[in-house]
Structure 1
Amino acid sequence: MNTQPLRQPGALGLASMPAVFVLLWSTGFIGAKFGLPYAEPFTFLWLRCALTLAVLLPLVLVMRASWPAGARLWGHIAVSGLLVHGAYLAGVFYSIALGMPAGLTALLVGLQPLLTAAFAGPLLGERLGKRQWLGLLLGLIGIALVLGSKLDLSDSLFKGFGPGALTSVIMALLGITLGTLYQKRFCTRMPLLSGAVIQYLAAGTLFTLGAGLFETRQIVWTPTFVLTLGWLVLVLSIAAIVLLMALIKKGEASRVASLFYLVPPVTALQAWWLFDERLPWPGLVGMAIAIGGVILVARASPAPVNNR
């Protein structure tokens, strides 16, 4: 008896999991756009982090997940959490809060594989090939076209946002890049679930300090904010991690990593549909060139797995 048709639904589900993961990941930028009118960035992130820990910690206990061995590994995981969650999320949320379009924010931080490849040589001793250098050059050309399409010399430096937003997104890009390299160098033995708890605890400490020192900590509790917060906590911070675990278990981690270059265009489409965010044609050409550069780098070397 031929059982192949019975296996097809499961095989189809497995094949679609990487795309579903990328789709979920891209909604993080959209969630920031929806929620920031009702809470300041550090306050928003602190609340998201606290609720994520409230769900994630019992999950670790129920699943009896192992914890990192030794105080030194705990410290390394905490540092990586400050970079890949703390600096990255704070930079993304502040750039959007200061007026940068969600699609452009996703494109800029989506250049992480290019920057990681550039830093991997001096920091990890990895040499770049010709294809990687070409990818880096294309990425720089693409991002110059995108930012150039947003220049408004007659009014302010950029249309809709200023240097503060650009500085924030550069901080996010550096945070996720350096955090990825740091995690690759010092956290190879990090358990996924319990390691995420430690990372969120470290990032939550940063968000607590930021909210206490620089913000009023006021929240406007509206249905939109509650739904957005619930989505970011349950779907993005929890479900996406569980999905990533399933993909790794099934041997699909490399496929997920190679699909991360789809995040900027997917985010741009969502932002266009929901917020009518648009790029002029030079910006669209620049986005395509930058994504092409990321593809070249990702295919020429092991693609880094982002953290959220």
Structure 2
Amino acid sequence: MTSERHRQAALAAMPFLFVALWSTGFIGAKFGLPHAEPFTFLFVRCVLTLALLVPLILLLRADWPQGPRLWGHIAVSGLLVHGAYLGGVFYGIYQGMPAGLTALLVGLQPLLTAALAGPLLNERLGKAQWLGLVLGLAGIALVLGGKLDPGETLFQGFGIGALASVLVALAGISLGTLYQKRFCTGMPLLSGTVVQYLATSALVGLGALVFETREIEWSPTFMLTLGWLVLVLSISAILLLMALIRRGEASRVASLFYLVPPVTALEAWWLFDERLPPLSLLGMAIAIAGVVLVVRGRAAGARRP
């Protein structure tokens, strides 16, 4: 009886554990980027992740995607979901955007995905979802308004380039999610992730080759951060997600993703003393409320016959 209670408690905690792990990706970028340029950092991370995932697939005898067409679609989704997303996030933080604000901006992915799902997937938005979109935009306007700087950088600590790169990340994860939903329905999760990381490695490797010096300071901080991002984010979080999907918990994970921005903001405040002014904190709360409305509206729509 006790062991069954422990098992149920562990299952109930798994979605929260996944979200907690996911939030540390932004913190890892903040820790590691002083020691390596963003595309170089991501290339090393992708190569190490592949070096661990490929033997794991062989050990588990997992299936590979069937046919070159599916491989191509998975590669495109990887360029969007991982390449544009991670590249934009890392470059934005590298340019000085706070980790908490970065997490909030890319955390608007359900809002942008819902807005694009209509014209791309013929999905209709309900009244609650439209309200969520308006709240999300209003919240972001307040957050950025609270960070405005009359100086040359436009915002406190970062400029328009950082904002643009994070918006590229937001567009990448949103379009990639829709593309994957439409064209990658037969994708095996583990081996499909390998194909996505292969495409991402080519993209960020090219970026490092063309735009960066490719110099790395192999400090203990960088190596520990890299190990965390590879083992905990790129491997453990994906395996945890697989376990949740098998147990039918994927929708619960999606509904908890709106907790990532405030958790990241708390972590960034504790570790780096990143502070948001009251206006930005109010905007964060409003934006998160908008995301909640959109996510719950999509979940209700999925359940409706």
Shorter-chain TM range is: over 0.9
Secondary structure of the corresponding residue to residue 80 of structure 1: helix
> What residue identity is the alignment partner of 1:63?
L
Counterpart for residue 69 of structure 1: 66
Match of 1:165 among 162, 173, 176: 162
Q: Does 1:191 pair with 2:188? A: yes
Match of 1:85 among 82, 86, 89: 82
Counterpart-to-counterpart distance in 2, 1:135 and 1:183: 24
Counterpart-to-counterpart distance in 1, 2:151 and 2:109: 32
Native 8 Å contact 2:35 2:217 kept in 1? yes
- Aligned pairs for 1:37-48 (under 5 A) are 37-48=34-45
Counterpart-to-counterpart distance in 1, 2:225 and 2:58: 27
Q: Normalising by structure 1, what TM-score? A: 0.96
Unaligned 5+ runs, structure 1: 304-308
1:275–1:185: structure 2 CA closer, same or farther, 3 Å change rule? same
Match of 2:223 among 221, 226, 229: 226
Deviation readout 1:160-196 (Å, 9 max, x if unpaired): 0001000100000000000000000100110000000
Match of 1:130 among 124, 127, 130: 127
> What residue identity is the alignment partner of 2:185?
T
Counterpart for residue 253 of structure 2: 256
Match of 2:175 among 173, 178, 183: 178
Match of 2:149 among 152, 155, 163: 152
Q: Equivalent pairs: percent with the same residue?
A: 75
Secondary structure of the corresponding residue to residue 66 of structure 2: coil
Q: Normalising by structure 2, what TM-score? A: 0.97
Deviation readout 1:92-117 (Å, 9 max, x if unpaired): 00000000000000000000000000
Counterpart-to-counterpart distance in 2, 1:244 and 1:201: 20
Secondary structure of the corresponding residue to residue 17 of structure 2: helix
Match of 1:36 among 29, 33, 37: 33
Structure 1 consecutive aligned stretches of length 4 or more whose deviation exceeds 4 Å: none
> What residue identity is the alignment partner of 2:141?
A
Counterpart for residue 306 of structure 1: none
Q: Does 1:289 pair with 2:289? A: no
- TM-superposed deviation, 1:154: 4.1
> What residue identity is the alignment partner of 1:195?
G
Secondary structure of the corresponding residue to residue 33 of structure 1: helix
> What residue identity is the alignment partner of 2:221?
T
> What residue identity is the alignment partner of 1:240?
A
> What residue identity is the alignment partner of 2:181?
K
- Aligned pairs for 1:94-105 (under 5 A) are 94-105=91-102
Native 8 Å contact 2:153 2:160 kept in 1? no
Secondary structure of the corresponding residue to residue 33 of structure 2: helix
- TM-superposed deviation, 1:156: 3.0
Counterpart-to-counterpart distance in 2, 1:251 and 1:114: 23
Match of 1:210 among 189, 207, 211: 207
Match of 1:279 among 276, 280, 288: 276
- TM-superposed deviation, 1:249: 1.1
Greater shift in the superposed pair: 145-154 or 289-298: 145-154
Match of 2:262 among 247, 261, 265: 265
Secondary structure of the corresponding residue to residue 213 of structure 2: coil
Match of 1:245 among 222, 225, 242: 242
Counterpart-to-counterpart distance in 1, 2:268 and 2:251: 27
- TM-superposed deviation, 1:6: 2.9
- TM-superposed deviation, 1:153: 1.5
Counterpart-to-counterpart distance in 1, 2:73 and 2:60: 24
Counterpart-to-counterpart distance in 2, 1:242 and 1:211: 29
Counterpart-to-counterpart distance in 2, 1:192 and 1:31: 24
Native 8 Å contact 2:74 2:180 kept in 1? yes
Aligned length: 300
